[in-house]
Amino acid sequence: MLILPDDFQPASLPAADIEGPAWWFVFAGSELLVRLTFAGVELPVASRWPFAKWPPARCLYLGMLGDRPCHAAEVVEGSPPPGLRFESLRGLWARLDESLLGVAGHALQLIEWDRAHQFCGRCGTPTERLGDQRVRYCPACGLEAYPRLSPVVMVRISRGREILLARAPRFAPGVYSVLAGFVEAGETLEQALHREVAEEVGIRVRNLHYFASQSWPFPHSLMVAFNAEYAEGEVRVDGQELLDARWFAPENLPALPSPMSMAWRLIQDFVARERDR
Ligand SMILES: [Zn+2]
């Protein structure tokens, strides 16, 4: 799963005595700069910005991964030096070290936040950094812009030995997943979940149980996953938001979403439970 590693200590300013090699998470758009090696892919490592002729548009200190500092940067023009190239985070799953990929997800969200809040959203004044806080501050009107998180509820609905999986138009061919939807202003997670299930497949569920959560940096979601039991109603889809939804037994699962995702973990947990039953 894509997750920030436990030995990562976030900070917006480096400690004064930090020296030595650092990891560089360099983005162009949402793609990460990697070096191709015989063994796979690596990140650039250097104590300072490593590409003198290729200046970054922005740099952010991220914190420490173990005993090594981490920096995020964005480049907006020019192309990578020989031996390096930009790749999507999804494409780097199982190729780049899992801890580094977790920090890269964090870095991508902060780069996008910094890029989107250079000017105050209320009065248009250029914003500033504020001490050691992860905030863009407007000196004219005082507005503070923190990195945004958009909560998404996700639910695995079970009925006996089966789970409900659905297919949305944006999915890769053949892939089915659990239901998910954004929480709207004023809703609790539980209300959002019941509303999404009713809207998307027309059924009711009961016995909600929290499962786990995951940051999903495309661009700034927080996935909050639940298990629930089918209660009543006939499954139907509108053909637009969802193309299909069906009950699947563990031995008959369709193609599933990426192992980076919370959906994958929810479905694997179901398979493991049914196997051990
Ligand atoms: Zn302002």
* Residue-wise pLDDT tens digits, 190-222: 999 999 999 999 999 999 999 999 999 988 999
d(CA 204, CA 186): 21
Which residues in 217-258 belong to E strands, given as ranges?
Answer: 221-232, 244-248
d(CA 236, CA 244): 8
Ligand 1 centre to CA of 136 (Å) is 10
Ligand 1 centre to CA of 137 (Å) is 8
Residues in the chain where the model's pLDDT stays below 70: none
Ligand 1 centre to CA of 30 (Å) is 28
Ligand 1 centre to CA of 146 (Å) is 14
d(CA 2, CA 109): 13
Ligand 1 centre to CA of 119 (Å) is 8
Ligand 1 centre to CA of 128 (Å) is 11
Ligand 1 centre to CA of 222 (Å) is 27
Per-residue pLDDT at 38 = 87
Per-residue pLDDT at 234 = 97
- 119: closest CA among 89, 140, 148, 147? 140
Ligand 1 centre to CA of 235 (Å) is 48
Instruction: Give the residues across from 244 on adjacent strands.
Output: 167
d(CA 20, CA 48): 9
Per-residue pLDDT at 238 = 86
Per-residue pLDDT at 109 = 96
Per the structure block, which two tokens stand in for 162?
Answer: 């089966």
Per-residue pLDDT at 17 = 75
Ligand 1 centre to CA of 127 (Å) is 8
Per-residue pLDDT at 275 = 85
Ligand 1 centre to CA of 114 (Å) is 16
Per-residue pLDDT at 49 = 94
Ligand 1 centre to CA of 142 (Å) is 6
Per the CB < 8 A criterion, the answer to whether 41 and 34 are in contact is yes
Ligand 1 centre to CA of 117 (Å) is 11
Ligand 1 centre to CA of 129 (Å) is 13
Give the length of the chain. 277
d(CA 136, CA 146): 7
Per the CB < 8 A criterion, the answer to whether 166 and 242 are in contact is yes
- Read off φ and ψ for residue 173, nearest 5 degrees: -55, 130
